[in-house]
Structure 1
Amino acid sequence: MDLVTVQDHPYQSAFYDSWTLVTHLMSRTERITVVPTVSSLPLRPPAVLAKAAASLDLLSGGRLELGLGAGAFWEAIEAMGGPRRSPKEAVDALTEAVEVIRAMWSGEHSVRVPGRHYALAGAHPGPTPRPDLGLWLGAYGPRTLALTGAHGDGWLPSHAFLGLDRLGDAVQRLDDAARGAGRDPASLRKIYNVAGRIGPQDRGPFDGPPARWRDDIRIALTEHGMNGIVFWPCEDHERQLQVFADELVPLVRQDLPDDRPRGTTDAPASPDGS
């Protein structure tokens, strides 16, 4: 396994706070990378979020990537004191937040960023994280895909909202935006969040025996350009993760080119299965 991801839904009473959980996981591991997928921007001011990510990145020896999303479940967000935003406002706020986070990671003595939702007025960034701390965005629409391709380091879509039948078109939009910004699309991490079940009956994509999963993952990786899979088991979490690790991951690795970089193949779900 290469990667553990943790959902960020503070309004869910059964969930631990994601940043507390991420820090706990860092303290219990030595090698694996941990990613909040994705941090709920309306409930986490980007300047403070940037500082928290930079701090944990340094304290963990560079084992964090920052996942960020525009927000969802607006009634629950509003109930916790966050803003309710229209789709346009949410994307505008995400765009400003990316600028704020980049400025807070810049290492400059003082930074200013204009903005309607988020701004910096002579803030003093620090500590400065490692240069390759990534900002990975959860994106689906044309504007957020363009933002990710032009300014993000990674992409975190979920199969439940973007099926295999539509994945290729979204990747094309992402790659076109990257090329339009003078970037190499191959440099982006493209991690597919998959909620599913490994079992004897083939019920469709990511819900069937290991052979079905192997084919679905191969399609996502080799035909649609994804370079990571996160498994969120729908049930029987520990056993499902064990089957994924022991049976499925070795099969998938056989399907990949020998020169594929280590760390770009597979990823488990978070420990609570979310």
Structure 2
Amino acid sequence: MDSMGMSNHHDSRLEFGVLLPQGWIDDLKGLGFEYIKRFALTAEALGFSLWAYDHFIPYKEYRPFIGKPMLECWTLLSSIAGVTSKARIGQVVTCNSYRNPALLAKMASTLDYISNGRLEFGIGAGWYEEEYVSYGYQFPSARARIEQLDEALNIIRAMWVDEEASTFHGKYHKVINAVNYPKPVQKPHPPIMVGGSGRLLLKVAAKHADIYNCPFVDVDELTDKLRVLKEHCINIRRDYSTIVKSLLMRVIIADRHETLIDKIRVVKRSDESIDWFISRNKGSTIIGTPDDVARELQGYAAIGVRHFILHPLPIEEDLESLRLLIDACKKV
């Protein structure tokens, strides 16, 4: 296992990151920012990169929203950059619709600068319609959102690498002589991770991504996604092997069966059985002992995944899941 991040994406090392507790699935449960910092420092010491979701309200299964904290992604990661020193930090993934791409390029450059070159730039087309409506954003068709993402990535990359000003005129976005200093510390720019799973999204990933991240899928489904990604690479004459394949997955891990059942009881909906929870989450949540988790991850590694972003559940004040998770990762 590689201890840290993404300095060389084109070797065979496996890389592992974890989601910070931030409130997306009611995972803070009264724990404050001091706990998040302790989580981040523990994860960093164990060798994980650190990630956050880009959402404004908790996931719809975890209602009511009122009174439940949900921390904004870029603000949270900027604060975590200031208390860590080695861990790479990224978004899984930034919703392109929520920020003007020129502003986002500036934000990313700034975060790479203040973290001394530790940014992973994760971005996707956006999907959570209720959140769009709630916060006053238009929710166009999936095709339009993906076209917007393509234009945004052209602007963002230009603003990272152009020595002078950047100009772009597109169907959705326009910048005129946009100046961006300081440039990112990483050269030529921070790794771009495109996240999502639709066929059109995979076409954008083939064009722009240093890393392609697929969320919450089983091995068979991911195999199919990667086949489509490879087809798109062939069509644009890009070397498919230059894209690092990444997986986002929730994990419930415990060293004993009894403890595992206790953890599932904390995470599941109150009206569902343990067996139904396990069945419902097959392919999106790995559940088991460190050996079980390692076997599941090995299945993904066998089809070419080299970059894993894991969301340990439930959040625990003793941080035991992080230590069990690193044991599993070392066995992959």
Normalised to the residue count of structure 2, the TM-score between the two structures is: 0.70
Shift of 1:236: 3.9
Shift of 1:165: 2.0
**Which of 23, 33, 49 is the equivalent residue of 1:3?**
49
Q: In the alignment, which residue of structure 2 is the partner of 1:145? A: 202
**Within 2, Cα distance between the matches of 1:2 and 1:198?**
16
**Within 1, Cα distance between the matches of 2:180 and 2:315?**
44
Structure 1: gaps spanning 5 or more residues: 253-274
Q: In the alignment, which residue of structure 2 is the partner of 1:125? A: 180
Shift of 1:39: 0.8
Residue correspondence of structure 1 range 1-274 to structure 2 within 5 A: 1-12=47-58, 14-129=69-184, 130=186, 131-159=188-216, 162-199=217-254, 200-201=256-257, 203=278, 206-222=286-302, 224-237=303-316, 238-245=319-326, 247-252=327-332
* AA at the equivalent of 1:11: I
Counterpart secondary structure, 2:305:
coil
* AA at the equivalent of 2:288: G
Q: Percent identity?
A: 25
Q: Residues 107 and 126 from structure 1, CA distance in 2 versus in 1: closer, same or farther, beyond 3 angstroms?
A: farther
The superposition leaves residues 129-163 of structure 1 with CA deviations (integer Å, 9 ceiling, x where unpaired) of: 2214111111211111111012211112111xx22
**Within 2, Cα distance between the matches of 1:110 and 1:232?**
39
Counterpart secondary structure, 2:137:
coil
Q: In the alignment, which residue of structure 1 is the partner of 2:65? A: none
Task: Give the conservation status (yes or no) of the 8 Å contact 2:101–2:156.
Answer: yes
| Deviates further, 8-17 or 138-147 | 8-17
Q: In the alignment, which residue of structure 2 is the partner of 1:255? A: none
The superposition leaves residues 194-241 of structure 1 with CA deviations (integer Å, 9 ceiling, x where unpaired) of: 11211445955611222221111111112x211111111231442212
**Within 2, Cα distance between the matches of 1:50 and 1:183?**
24
Task: Give the conservation status (yes or no) of the 8 Å contact 2:161–2:189.
Answer: no
Instruction: Specify the structure having the higher radius of gyration (Cα).
Output: 2
Q: Supply the RMSD in Å over aligned alpha carbons.
A: 1.9
Shift of 1:97: 0.9
**Within 2, Cα distance between the matches of 1:10 and 1:236?**
19
Task: Give the conservation status (yes or no) of the 8 Å contact 2:165–2:178.
Answer: yes
**Within 2, Cα distance between the matches of 1:198 and 1:235?**
9
Figure out how many residues of one structure are paired with residues of the other and give that number. 248
